[in-house]
Amino acid sequence: MEELFKGVLGFEAGHFIMFIVAAILIYLAIAKEYEPMLLLPIGFGAIMANIPFSSAIGHDGFLTVLYGFGIKTELFPILIFIAVGAMIDFSPLLQNPSLLFFGAAAQFGIFTTMMVALFMGYDLKEAASIGIIGAADGPTSIYVAAKFAENLLAPITVAAYSYMSLVPIIQPPVIRLLTSRKERLIRMHYKETKVPTQVKILFPIVITITAGIIAPIGVALIGALMFGNLVRECGVLARLSSTAQNELANLVTILLGITIGSTMEASRFIRLDTMMIMGLGLVAFIFDTAGGVLFAKFINLFLKNKVNPMVGAAGISAFPMSARVIHKMALKEDPTNFILMQAVGANVAGQLGSIVAGGLLLAIVPALLK
């Protein structure tokens, strides 16, 4: 009889709290459509993980098996990068390569947050894992955290994906605070030019070699993204490109989300660390946005043809959400001011910048600890 009711007898307040957290994630996914493909599986995974004596987790639990197979080995994040690479069109960036600087500037939040985390008492690897939330790139956050701070993986992942979904809420106030209406009304000339197919094919190859030589430990990240893009652009693998963008992306996203959710056990998640990491994640996103905007304002001091500073904020890796937010803000200020393509270019540059930043952290942090 006791065996029959052990789930009821083992139920604690922490489990109830985690059910509420899971319900919030599922609500955001369904009602608000905030990153539904990830927040819903994460929320449901958290429910299964917090049922007392759940058979879904533990030595033989299928979620624990998936965790060991896909997260500990970093396989799931890598597969996601292949899918993302197949989805991205780098043409707006290739038409205006200077937008790469915005992708770099908008990573400012990573290193700022890392410094703050160190000041708060986290060790270097933990601080780097928390700082990478500022990459605004879930797979990169998972990859780095799995290597450096597996104990913080759940809150880091939840923070990364939650704030990515909240970009339309986080970015506009920061942008308005740092810019004048006159700056937000700046028009940017855009002339669409056809990017040669050879350039599109060479781009992922050159980027992989260049970034790989700079930070060899990041080759898995940048290489997977660029391989997916090469499959897209080569012109002879249409079926594989379609599979990567659809079946592969959908399947791995489901497995990744529900597996991450399974790590949100009450005993490991309901801690002061979790609240601190969520707070630091917000700091990272704010400083990312501020870094991109302030960099754009700085270079405007030297440019004849000014850059709309809002484009700098699109340099974060939340693709394509940030570009859409910036475009809508520009249209709100002036319905005839279209800066979508420049914002998309900066957003794509942010995707590259976040992965390169992740690779640099993976290379630098172990070197500093020697």
| Residue 196: how many other CB atoms lie within 10 Å | 10
Angstrom distances, CA of residue 184 to CA of 169, 187, 200, 308, 328: 18, 9, 32, 6, 11
Buried b (16+ CB within 10 A) or exposed e, 146-175: bbbbeebbbbbbbbbbbbbbbbeebbbebb
Task: Quote the pTM value.
Answer: 0.85
Convert the pLDDT of each residue in 12-44 to its tens digit: 888 899 999 999 999 988 998 887 888 899 999
Q: For the chain, how big is the Rg over CA atoms in Å?
A: 21
Calpha distance 293→11 (Å, rounded): 48
For 182, other C-beta atoms within 10 Å of its C-beta total 8
Q: Residue 150 — very low, low, confident or very high, per pLDDT cuts 50/70/90? A: confident
Residue 271's pLDDT band (cuts 50, 70, 90): confident
List the structure tokens of 228.
Answer: 């997916």
**pLDDT 10s digits, 109-133:** 898 999 999 999 899 999 999 998 8
Q: pLDDT at residue 2 above 70?
A: no
8 A C-beta contact, residue 87 and residue 256: no
Q: Degrees (nearest 5) of the Cα angle 278, 258, 161?
A: 30
What are the structure tokens assigned to 261, written together?
């959710």
Contact between 255 and 76 under an 8 Å Cβ cutoff? The reply is yes
CA distance 220 to 212: 9
Residue the block writes with tokens 């029959």: 4
Average pLDDT over residues 102-106: 85
Summarize the confidence of residues 268-296 as an average pLDDT: 89
Q: How confident is the model at residue 4 (pLDDT cuts 50, 70, 90)?
A: low
Mean pLDDT calculated for residue range 261-285: 87
Q: What is the pLDDT of residue 47?
A: 94
Task: Say if CB 130 and CB 114 are below 8 A apart.
Answer: yes
